[in-house]
Each structure stands twice: as C-alpha cells, then as structure tokens.
Amino acid sequence: LFGWPESNGIFTIWVGHVLLCMAYVAVVVQSRIRDFDRSLEEAAMDLGATPVKVFFLITLPLIAPALMAAWLLAFTLSLDDVVIASFLSGPGYTTLPVEVFSRVRLGLKPEINALATLFILVVGLLVIVANRLQHQVNKAEQ
C-alpha cells in the first residue's frame, strides 16, 4: 500500500535520466544548429526538394557530429549518475553504476576489475574505429 510501486523501476530511472540529460543535449545540438549555414537548406528547397528531403539530406548530416557528441555526453552522464539511479530505482531494479558502487563499497572484487577492463577496451576500440573512419574520409577528400 505504501512505498515505491514495483512497476515503476525501469521506467522511472529512464524518465529521470532523460530529464537530466535533455538540457545537455539541447545545448550541444542548439549550438550546432545556430551556427550552420541556412542557405544550404534554402538552395535545396529552391531546387525542388521537399522539407523532409532537405532535413534528411542536408540538415541531418550537418548536425550529425553534434548529435553524436550529445549522445556520448548523455550516455556518460547517465553512466556516472549513481544518485539518481539509486533514488529512482524500485525494488528489484538496479542499474550498472548502482551495482558497481554497491560492490566497491564492500571491497574490490575481480568482477569490478574485469568490468573496468572491458570499458577501457570498448572505448579504445571505438577510438581506433573512429580514427580509421576519419582517416578514410580525409583520404577521400584529397
């Protein structure tokens, strides 16, 4: 009767993280939208493109780096925010940061070290892949 409803665990965590990260995402994307050249959209519409086509062929590729940066920032903030996840999680629901924090408080275990190693490997691989893709794009432009 009283207490936290059992059905709200994952949903409330999700809503909390979305609300937390929305401001950061809006600032990053807004700065990119504010600075890009609107004449490209106007030229595409003058040449007969529909607004939907202009969005997908002109606007979206131009703001894609900002969307990616905003996604990475939101992901990092969500992964780091133990306090919101611990307050909003219902009984039986836990997130990875809360689980790691609770295990570290009890003492370092090999599982935590393995998880940290996996994080480092995944980030390293993503950096290598992004670097290779950027190198190919630079080569194609020359």
58 C-beta neighbours (distance < 10 Å), count: 19
Report, as an integer, the average pLDDT of 92-110: 81
Model pTM score: 0.72
Question: What phi and psi, each to the nearest 5 degrees, are found at residue 67?
Answer: -65, -40
pLDDT band at 116 (very low <50, low <70, confident <90, very high): confident
Question: What phi and psi, each to the nearest 5 degrees, are found at residue 27?
Answer: -65, -45
Higher pLDDT, 45 or 109: 45
pLDDT band at 113 (very low <50, low <70, confident <90, very high): confident
SS3 category, 73: helix
Report, as an integer, the average pLDDT of 56-62: 94
Q: How far is CA 43 from CA 34, 96, 100, 140, in A?
A: 18, 47, 52, 25
| pLDDT over threshold 80, residue 4 | no
